[in-house]
Amino acid sequence: MLSQRRPWCYRLLAYEDEIFALVTAILDHGSLASAGGTFSESLYGLRRAPAEGGDANGGAAPASAPDGQQAASAPAPMLTRRQRQAALLLSVSAAFNLAKSPVAPHAQHVPVPRSSQAVCSCPSAA
């Protein structure tokens, strides 16, 4: 409808993957800076956790509560600038490369043969 009233909008369809990647990068950049995760991670309520060997304390023992027990719901540490840049680059480029690949997953539909001999070489159960 918009492209019928404004013909210049129709030309944007040729660049829909690039526009989608740009919008995704903007959303993820803001979300990584404020919530410590991508937009989709915060949408689904996922939280990033440090890897087994390297936590926010540089591999030291986790912080414990005053009574000697570990804090159960300690907030996840914020990502460093380099980690945010790497997460942004990987999340946006992976989706963009998948969309631009010559053999996209939605184009790999192979019709299933109807004859049982083509599907399985095992004897039929009669």
Inside any domain, residue 29? yes
Inside any domain, residue 104? no
Number of domains in the chain: 1
Tell me the C-alpha distance between 32 and 19, whole Å.
20
Label residue 73 exposed, middle or buried (CB < 10 Å: 0-12, 13-18, 19+). Answer: exposed
Inside any domain, residue 86? yes
Core vs surface per residue 31-55: b (16+ CB within 10 A) or e: bbeebbbbbebbeeeeebeeeeeee
Inside any domain, residue 30? yes
Domain of 24, in residue numbers: 16-50+78-98
Inside any domain, residue 84? yes
Label residue 92 exposed, middle or buried (CB < 10 Å: 0-12, 13-18, 19+). Answer: buried
Would you say 78 and 50 are in contact if contact means Cβ atoms under 8 Å apart? no
Residue 124 has pLDDT above 80, yes or no: no
Q: What is the pTM of this model?
A: 0.58
Inside any domain, residue 105? no
The pLDDT-based confidence of 11 (bands split at 50, 70, 90) is confident
Helices (H), 6-115: 8-11, 16-35, 39-43, 81-100
Q: In this predicted model, what pLDDT tens digit does every residue of 15-49 receive, in sequence order?
A: 888 999 999 999 999 999 888 889 888 889 888 87
Core vs surface per residue 97-109: b (16+ CB within 10 A) or e: eeeeeeeeeeeee
Inside any domain, residue 67? no
Inside any domain, residue 25? yes
Mean pLDDT taken over the chain: 73
